[in-house]
Amino acid sequence: MNLALFDLDNTLLSCDSDYEWTQFLIGKGAVDAVTFAAKNDRFYAQYLAGTLDIGEFLDFQLRPLASHPRRRLDAWHREFMAGRILPAIGGKARALVRRHLDGGDLCALVTATNSFVTGPISLEFGIANMIATVPAQENGQFNGQVRGAPSFREGKVARVEAWLEAMGFWWSSFGRTWFYSDSHNDLPLLSKVSDPVAVDPDGALLAHAREAGWTVLSLRE
């Protein structure tokens, strides 16, 4: 059996679901437009630059989830999926995931974005296993906190390894292991697999992939 891991934002998606969710909330009038738009742009720039403080970002990103009833959030997410996410899923991304699923590979989405935003997206791709940052809940209502370690940078490696161990697996349990990502922030996990793949990579990841001889591909239409 083989293992296939997929990053989501700007990898399987041609957008960043974290960023788009906040922009969607701004459009709904659910958050202060001026404050949240500026912070959303600032955090996204820091992520691209590799300087993001994940704790500070999650405090910003999870706060709106605690400010609205779950039923309203779920309804908004269905609208978000239809208007912003489905148009960002290309045929090449769907085909890549389907090839691994049809080949019998153990597949998982591995993303720093929180599981409320990304859970339905993972299921849209047919990926049942997801490793994401988990927003904590109390009696079904989000409280603005994080449950466990964020799935970010080295945290992705730790979370994947904990997931594998829980099933009695380890990296050596698989003939081949893939991780597909666009970001230099994912170098820790890309360096763990036998087949790292840079997908529409940022400049830093492209340079590293070329030097290391990694596969580089595009999923854009």
Catalytic residue positions?
7, 9
- Residue 30: phi and psi, rounded to 5, are -85, -20
Pull the structure tokens for residue 179.
């991780």
Check if the beta carbon of residue 117 is closer than 8 Å to that of residue 134.
no
Check if the beta carbon of residue 7 is closer than 8 Å to that of residue 110.
yes
**Cα three-residue angle 199-218-208, rounded to 5 degrees:** 40
> Three-class SS of residue 13?
strand
Q: What is the DSSP letter of 30?
A: S
- Tokens 């959303």, residue? 40
Q: Which of 160, 151, 154 is nearest to 9 (CA)?
A: 151
- Tokens 């208007």, residue? 83
Nearby residues of 168 by Cβ (< 8 Å), 6 or more positions away: none
Pull the structure tokens for residue 47.
């992520």
Check if the beta carbon of residue 181 is closer than 8 Å to that of residue 205.
yes
